[in-house]
């Protein structure tokens, strides 16, 4: 593949899994009647599969079963990179980390398995402090189960796009990394201060 350039392609499976675990909110994309259906869902990775659940009224509920194809995008940190941060002459750019997955979806029909997956997702998302523990016998979850669809996605292909100024000099790579960290921390705070 000539795009993205080789130095922006990442084939390190463990690093791709790390992105999915660190940024588990996936953009889930399917096609229905020649139109894209897009949903944003947290998913957990488990041994070559992604597991999740959604409201049964979500249009995606009928598309995440029967081995239907699905594309998922996990987005890591991203930001604008100004040439002012470099020690060499460069042009403005945008750095980012993305993992794109294609797979086939199967519905989880056993209510106990759905509950187990919800408990597992809560354990994963609560880590490492585990301030909240979801119990399998939670009454609220029991009432919730009839309204959700559980699913798992078998991963068929992986594509990592890590655009992190890898084609620059070592000091410029470090400067771009520092800018990515700084911009994400400052931008999130400034944005949330504006809207909340």
- Whether the CB-CB separation of 125 and 95 falls below 8 Å is answered with no
Phi, psi at 98, each rounded to 5°: -135, 145
User: Average pLDDT over the chain, rounded to whole?
Assistant: 93
* pLDDT single digits (tens) 72-110: 999 999 999 999 999 999 999 999 999 999 999 999 999
Q: Would you state the structure tokens that stand for residue 54, as one six-digit string?
A: 């959604």
Radius of gyration of the chain (CA): 19
Q: What's CA 94's distance to the chain center, in Å?
A: 19
Where do the domains of the chain lie, and which CATH numbers do they carry? 6-191 (2.30.110.10)
* pLDDT single digits (tens) 3-32: 788 888 989 999 999 999 999 999 999 999
Residues making up the chain, counted from first to last = 196
- Whether the CB-CB separation of 176 and 82 falls below 8 Å is answered with no
């Amino acid at each position: 593949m000539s795009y993205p350039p080789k130095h922006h392609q990442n084939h390190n499976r463990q690093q791709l899994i790390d992105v999915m675990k660190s940024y588990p909110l996936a953009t889930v994309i399917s096609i229905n009647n020649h139109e894209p259906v897009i949903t944003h869902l947290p998913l957990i990775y488990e041994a070559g599969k992604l597991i999740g659940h959604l409201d049964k009224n979500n249009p995606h509920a009928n598309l995440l079963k029967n081995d239907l194809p699905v594309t998922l995008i996990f987005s890591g940190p991203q930001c604008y990179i100004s040439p002012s941060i470099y020690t060499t002459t460069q042009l403005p750019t945008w750095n980012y980390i993305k993992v794109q997955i294609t797979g086939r979806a199967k519905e989880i029909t056993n209510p106990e398995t759905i509950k187990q997956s919800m408990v597992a997702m809560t354990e994963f998302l609560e880590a490492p402090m585990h301030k909240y523990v979801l119990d399998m016998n939670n009454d609220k979850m029991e009432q919730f189960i009839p309204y959700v669809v559980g699913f798992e996605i078998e991963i068929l292909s992986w594509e990592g796009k890590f655009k992190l100024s890898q084609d620059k000099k070592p000091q410029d790579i470090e400067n771009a990394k520092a800018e990515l960290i700084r911009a994400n921390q400052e931008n999130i705070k400034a944005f949330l201060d504006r809207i909340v």
